[in-house]
Amino acid sequence: MKEGIFFDVAEEVEKQEKEISIDRFCVNIRNSEIYQPWMGICSTMQVLEANLEGENVKNISVISSPEAEAVSGAGCFIPDFKENSLKFVLPRFHLGVPAQMDMEIAVYQLSHTRIIKNAIIEAPTKDSGIIYFAREGHLTQMQKAVYLTTRQNLPTTMVSISHRPAENSFTRQAFFASEPNLEGFSNQLHTLFLCDPVASGMQHTAMIEKLEEMGRLPRKIVVIAPMATKFGLRVIEKTCKEKGVMFEAGVAGVLLDTQPPLRYYSPYPKKEIQVADPKLFAVVRELFGDKLSKACIRCNWTGTFWGGNNFPMEASNDELGDIGLSNEELLNICSNLTEQKAIDMDIVDRLIPFSTKLLLKK
């Protein structure tokens, strides 16, 4: 199997570190009727609009909301029913169905940002579609978000793409378990929403090449990646430019860092410029210092959403042990941010997501 262009593009990105350009502002959105019983009529979110090449025109939306921060950001407060209180946890400790629900809400919120909403509105229903990658992609519920935003159905499919070991500098390559089935999709595609987290950008690059091979390359690709690294998004954008395809993206919480040489392990960023909410960035940096930027945002990303409680926690401890940390140490640091302290700092409302509100109202 040929390796594709990913490795050449990734090498270029490695050599050309660029300072991103950003704008920040607050947005009020009206919640869908199905979310209003728990979230109220309206929600406020912080928006970071970015261009990774330092250009003036912004093409990436990063949002800070309680749900976005719970999925891929500062973290969140979850119920501690034994202590009859709330406890603060990092995204790597926010697991299972609650994390799935918050991802759905975060993507709904992304669909109301200027960049992503315009992409949805401008996507002709008959000539556009959604592709979920088979591990976490469908948890975005992008088809539902589009419907709740516009009352339109976009054709949607799932593609079985993953990594397999290979003898290259990244120790892996993208692999399609079966050919993508684009039944119901137009032959002349305008916009495709590719939904899955982004670490290195390898799988998204392979998907773009596969679309070209199938003669179905769209005019625009919009990456919906609640967890996404700055490096991986730059790789995907460069690939799109080489193919003559427009690129936009929507991300939750922060633009993650990712560590060379494998570009797979993806921690909370060291730079405030990559964060949608600078106030939360300051709180997290004070709490964790350099230790936070060493811990991957979610350890085994699939495991934290699908693996119940035991598996992701065990995997997390094993991973942290390799860098001289442990679940216990990070959870002890988390315990320093109490509900009362968050109230005193006027940040508690930014850290109580939908899933917590749902449990507290039972």
Query: Residue 79 and residue 86: Cα distance in Å, rounded?
Result: 5
How is residue 186 written in tokens? 């137009």
238 domain-assigned = yes
362 domain-assigned = no
43 domain-assigned = yes
Please give the tally of structural domains in the chain. Answer: 1
What tens digit of pLDDT does each residue of 96-111 get?
999 999 999 999 999 9
1 domain-assigned = no
Bond from prior residue into 261 cis (ω within 30 degrees of 0):
yes
Q: What is the pLDDT of residue 1?
A: 45
Q: What is the pLDDT of residue 43?
A: 96
Hey, which residues does 254 pair with through a beta bridge? 275
What tens digit of pLDDT does each residue of 7-45 get?
999 999 999 888 999 999 999 999 999 999 999 999 999
What is the extent of the structural domain holding 228? 6-357
Q: What is the pLDDT of residue 176?
A: 93
* Concatenated DSSP letters of 144-208: HHHHHHHS-PPPEEEE-EEEEE-SSTTSEEEEESS----TTS-SS-SEEEEES-BSSSHHHHHHH
Q: What is the pLDDT of residue 362?
A: 57
187 domain-assigned = yes
Residues 74 and 283: beta-carbon distance below 8 Å: yes
Q: What is the pLDDT of residue 164?
A: 86
Q: How many CB atoms lie within 10 A of CB 183?
A: 7
**Closest to 12 (Cα-Cα) out of 53, 65, 44, 47:** 53
260 domain-assigned = yes
Residues 265 and 233: beta-carbon distance below 8 Å: no
Helix (H, G, I), strand (E, B) or coil at 8: helix
267 domain-assigned = yes
Q: What is the DSSP letter of 190?
A: S
How is residue 251 written in tokens? 């991300």
pLDDT truncated to tens, each residue of the chain (362 aa)? 456 899 999 999 999 888 999 999 999 999 999 999 999 999 999 999 999 999 999 999 999 999 999 999 999 999 998 888 899 999 999 999 999 999 999 999 999 999 999 999 999 999 999 999 998 999 999 999 999 999 999 999 999 998 888 888 888 998 899 999 999 899 999 999 999 999 999 999 999 999 999 999 999 999 999 999 999 999 999 999 999 999 999 999 999 999 998 898 999 999 999 999 999 999 999 999 989 899 999 999 999 999 888 888 999 999 999 999 999 999 999 999 999 999 999 999 999 999 999 998 85
- The percent of residues above 70 in pLDDT, for the chain, comes to 99
Query: Residue 297 and residue 259: Cα distance in Å, rounded?
Result: 12
Query: Residue 230 and residue 209: Cα distance in Å, rounded?
Result: 21
Query: Residue 198 and residue 228: Cα distance in Å, rounded?
Result: 4
Query: Residue 32 and residue 291: Cα distance in Å, rounded?
Result: 38
**Closest to 357 (Cα-Cα) out of 101, 113, 173, 144:** 101
Q: What is the pLDDT of residue 169?
A: 85
Q: What is the pLDDT of residue 3?
A: 67
Contacts of 65 (CB under 8 A, 6+ apart): 43, 45, 46, 105, 106, 109, 350, 353
113 domain-assigned = yes
- The tokens 């936009």 sit on which residue? 248
